[in-house]
C-alpha cells in the first residue's frame, strides 16, 4: 500500500442519490452493485436503507457474500456460465437470469434436485447481440419456462433486457428495442407466463426515458453520481487523494518522466505524487490531466508512471506532506471522475472500477435514519440494515420490498411508469472544468 494514497467514499452521497432517483422515477429501484459496487465497496446496507427495493449483481460469486452477510432483499444475478453453482444460488434465494434454454434446463434441474422452486427472470436480447436470448429463441425459451413452471421447478418472476443506446435518449434504437421488449412480454403472456416485474431501463434510460421504466429500474452508475447521458446532476461519491512525497525546483527545459516527453517551459517547481497506472490512474491521460493542490488545479506533466506522477506546481507554494486531490465531486474545483474519463478517452465507469488495492479505502457519511454508516477503513463487511443473525441463522423472510413491485401481467397496458414528481430535485453539482454543459435536476429543471 502506498503510504497515504486514499479513496474517500461518501456513503451519504450514495444514499442521497438513491432517494433522489426513487423519488424522481416513481418506480421500485434495483440497486446494481456489480464490480464491488462500481468500486465503492460495501453499499448494500446504504442503498437499502435509502429506499432501494432490490439488489442486482452479475455473478453468483458476487451475490453469495451479500446473503452470507444477512442481506435479505430480493437479489438478482444475471451473468453466469451454464455450469454455475445453481444449487447454492437457489438455496440462498437468489433470483437468476435465464439467457437461453440450456441455462433454463440447468437451473430447473438443480431446483428439482433440491426440492425447491427457483426464481428466474427471462433475459431477452433486444438489440445488443450480447447477453440474453436471441429473438429466434424466445418462443422456445418461453415454452419450456412454462413447462418447468407447471412442474414446480421454477417461478418466472421477471422479464428483463438491456438497451444498447440509452446514453443518447433520442436515439431511434431506444424506440425499436423497447418495442422488441414489449413484443417479448406479449409472447410470454401468450405462453401463460405472468412475471411480476418487467425491467429494461438501466441508469441512463431510468433517468431520461420514462417509457422504459416499466415495473423496476436497474440503476448502478447513477447511485454513485454517474449519468451516462451527462444530463442530470447527481452527487459524486468518491474523492481520491495522495500525499506529495517530494518537491524540487527545476530550470526551464528540464525533461520529465520516461522518454522525457515533457520539458518545462520555465523555471518551476515539480511535485511527486505516489500514485500511477498500477493504481488505476490511466496512462492515457498523460499530457492532459491535472490534480488539485491547495485548491488550485495544476497539470500532470510527463508520462504517468506505474507508481507515480509528477505535477508542475508553478507558483503554488507546495511542500512535502501536502495532499494532492486526484479527483472528487468537483465542489471545490478539483478534477472529477468525468474529467479523468475525458482525458483518457474512456467512460467514468472504467475510472471508478479500475482503482487498485494499494489505495486505502475509507467510508464516510450518514445513513437515512441519521446513524453512522461507515467512518473508517473499508473492511469488506456489511454492517447496517441487514439480519444480525448472520449466515448461520434460519432462513430469512424476503425483504418487504419484494412486495413493492407491480403484479400487473406483462403487456402494453401497464407500460407507462408513474410520472416524475414535481418536487423531485437534485442540488447542482458542476465541476470547475470549463464545460458549458446544460445540466438539470431529475425533474428536468435547468440548474
Residues forming the active site? 34, 258
State the cell numbers at 333.
474545483
Rounded-to-integer distance, Cα 329 and Cα 309, Å: 21
Contacting residues for 48 by C-beta, under 8 A, at least 6 apart: 31, 55, 71, 73, 385, 399, 401
Closest CA to 350 of 359, 335, 338, 336: 338
The reply to whether 306 sits in an annotated binding site is yes
Which of 74, 33, 41 is closest to 215 using CA atoms?
A: 74
Q: Determine whether the annotation assigns residue 30 to a binding site.
A: no
Q: Residue 287 and residue 295: Cα distance in Å, rounded? A: 20
Is-contact 31 55, C-beta < 8 A? yes
Given a contact cutoff of 8 angstroms between Cβ atoms, the answer to whether 315 and 227 are in contact is: no
Count, in order, helices (H) and strands (E) of the chain: 11, 20
CA distances (Å), origin 11, targets 5, 8, 102, 195, 366: 19, 9, 40, 33, 7
Q: Which residues are annotated as a binding site?
A: 130, 306
Q: Which residues are annotated as a binding site for substrate?
A: 130, 306
Amino acid at each position: 500500500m502506498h503510504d497515504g494514497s486514499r479513496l474517500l467514499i461518501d456513503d451519504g452521497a450514495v444514499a442521497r442519490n438513491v432517494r433522489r432517483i426513487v423519488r424522481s422515477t416513481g418506480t421500485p429501484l434495483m440497486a446494481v452493485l456489480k464490480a464491488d459496487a462500481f468500486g465503492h465497496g460495501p453499499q448494500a446496507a446504504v442503498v437499502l436503507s435509502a429506499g432501494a427495493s432490490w439488489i442486482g449483481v452479475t455473478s453468483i460469486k458476487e451475490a453469495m457474500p451479500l446473503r452470507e452477510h444477512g442481506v435479505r432483499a430480493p437479489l438478482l444475478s444475471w451473468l453466469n456460465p451454464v455450469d454455475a453453482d445453481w444449487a447454492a444460488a437457489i438455496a440462498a434465494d437468489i433470483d437468476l437470469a435465464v439467457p437461453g434454454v440450456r441455462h433454463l434446463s440447468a437451473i430447473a434441474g438443480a431446483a428439482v434436485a433440491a426440492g425447491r422452486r427457483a426464481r428466474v427472470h427471462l433475459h431477452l436480447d433486444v438489440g445488443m447481440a450480447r447477453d440474453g436470448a436471441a429473438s429466434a429463441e424466445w418462443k422456445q425459451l418461453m415454452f419450456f419456462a412454462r413447462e418447468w413452471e407447471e412442474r414446480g421447478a421454477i417461478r418466472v418472476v421477471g422479464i428483463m433486457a438491456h438497451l444498447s443506446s440509452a446514453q443518447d435518449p433520442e436515439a431511434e434504437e431506444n424506440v425499436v428495442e423497447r418495442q422488441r421488449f414489449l413484443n417479448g412480454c406479449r409472447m410470454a403472456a401468450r405462453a401463460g407466463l405472468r412475471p411480476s416485474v418487467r425491467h429494461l431501463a438501466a441508469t441512463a434510460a431510468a433517468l431520461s426515458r420514462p417509457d422504459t421504466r416499466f415495473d423496476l429500474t436497474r440503476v448502478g452508475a447513477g447511485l454513485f453520481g454517474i449519468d451516462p447521458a451527462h444530463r442530470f446532476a447527481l452527487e459524486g461519491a468518491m474523492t481520491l487523494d495522495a500525499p506529495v512525497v517530494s518537491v524540487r525546483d527545476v530550470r526551464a527545459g528540464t525533461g520529465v518522466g520516461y522518454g522525457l516527453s515533457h520539458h518545462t517551459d520555465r523555471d518551476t517547481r515539480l511535485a511527486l505524487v505516489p500514485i500511477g497506472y498500477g493504481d488505476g490512474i490511466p496512462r492515457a491521460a498523460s499530457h492532459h490531466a491535472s490534480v488539485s493542490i491547495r485548491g488550485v488545479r495544476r497539470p500532470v506533466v510527463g508520462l504517468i508512471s506505474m507508481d507515480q506522477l509528477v505535477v508542475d506546481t508553478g507558483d503554488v507554494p507546495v511542500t512535502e506532506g501536502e495532499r494532492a486531490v486526484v479527483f472528487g465531486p468537483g465542489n471545490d474545483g478539483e478534477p472529477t471522475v468525468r474529467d479523468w474519463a475525458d482525458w483518457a478517452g474512456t467512460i467514468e465507469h472504467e475510472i471508478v472500477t479500475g482503482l487498485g488495492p494499494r489505495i486505502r479505502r475509507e467510508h464516510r457519511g450518514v445513513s437515512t435514519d441519521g446513524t453512522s454508516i461507515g467512518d473508517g477503513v473499508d473492511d469488506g463487511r456489511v454492517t447496517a440494515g441487514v439480519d444480525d443473525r448472520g449466515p448461520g441463522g434460519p432462513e430469512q423472510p424476503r425483504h418487504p420490498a419484494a412486495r413493492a413491485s407491480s403484479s400487473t401481467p406483462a403487456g402494453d397496458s401497464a407500460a407507462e411508469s408513474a410520472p416524475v414528481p414535481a418536487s423531485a430535485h437534485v442540488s447542482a453539482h458542476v465541476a470547475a472544468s470549463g464545460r458549458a454543459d446544460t445540466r438539470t435536476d431529475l425533474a428536468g429543471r435547468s440548474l
